[in-house]
Amino acid sequence: MSQPASEPVSDRADLVSYLDVDVTPELLELALTHRSFAYEHGGIGNNERLEFLGDSILGQAVTVMLFRENPDLDEGDLAKRRASLVSTVALAEIARHIGLGRYIRLGRGEELTGGRDKHSILADTVEAIIGATFLDAGQAAATGLVMRLIEPLLNDPDRFGAAMDPKTSLQELSSAQGRGMPTYVVSDSGPDHDKRFHAIVRLGRDDIATGIGSSKKMAEMAAALEAWTRLTAEAAAPPAAAPDAPAAPDASGADAPAAEQR
């Protein structure tokens, strides 16, 4: 039987290999099932309960890690770092790093509106997978998975700082580049019980990046992180080589073309 059009075309072998945890195919499928898909397929199970569990496991694992590895940080700094690592923006970035979007089972409406790259859907699915790992493989395996997932952020101090406070990071970067202060334009869509906010970040008259979130704040943070990423990449790119200028003719005529020497 062929897959419904709204399901991802990729099998899950690469994802299972990357996660490296012992989760049954049935529970992993549930963790990858968004409520929009469940609704369109007769109200089958979705990943919201697993997401609830995974959120708790994630928070505990990150809290313990930060406490043990940062003995000199006070409560305020620890809380900021934890918030950055468990935020929707950070989890969505982790999901993109492992290519999670293509494995999620989405309803047609979400598929058509770019659901595979929405911060909230990606972040919720990461938490659901953590919850599934806890149920099937236990606390130690779930904690190990959390540590592997957040490792890329921890290994990139600049990125870690941007994920912690993307709006401030973008403001500092744009100011250093002489591009002025970022401004945000936010709109919303959807019913009150499932509203989505869409933010555009601008520098001067230029729209730099966009972001989507479940709140105005989350949408602005998503847009700011995307803008920070783009500006950082542009600054790191080598300048385009200028076209070679034509060589000046030798006054003696020794290097001139033969036709000109005659």
Q: What pLDDT is recorded for position 175?
A: 93
Q: What pLDDT is recorded for position 232?
A: 87
Residue 51, annotated as binding a ligand: yes
Residue 127, annotated as binding a ligand: yes
Q: Which of 93, 110, 127, 226 is catalytic?
A: 127
What is the number of other CB atoms lying within 10 angstroms of the CB of residue 241? 6
Q: What pLDDT is recorded for position 255?
A: 47
Q: What pLDDT is recorded for position 74?
A: 94
Superfamily for domain range 13-164: Ribonuclease III domain (1.10.1520.10)
Ordered mean pLDDT values, 10 residues apiece, the chain (262 residues): 42 89 94 94 93 96 96 90 84 89 93 86 96 96 96 78 81 92 93 84 92 84 88 78 55 46 40
Q: What pLDDT is recorded for position 240?
A: 59
Residue 111, annotated as binding a ligand: no
48 annotated active-site: no
Q: Are strands 206-213 and 182-189 parallel, antiparallel or unpaired?
A: unpaired
Site of tokens 């049935």: 26
Q: Which of 55, 93, 111, 220 is catalytic?
A: 55
Phi, then psi, of 167 in degrees rounded to 5? -70, -45
Kindly state the helix (H) or strand (E) to which residue 184 belongs, with its residue range: strand 182-189
Sheet of strand 182-189: strand arrangement: 182-189, 196-203, 206-213
| CATH number belonging to domain 167-236 | 3.30.160.20
Q: What pLDDT is recorded for position 156?
A: 76
Q: What pLDDT is recorded for position 218?
A: 82
Q: What pLDDT is recorded for position 254?
A: 47
Total-model pTM:
0.69
Question: In Å, what is the CA distance from 197 to each residue of 88, 116, 219?
Answer: 14, 16, 6
- Any idea where the domains of the chain sit in the sequence? 13-164, 167-236
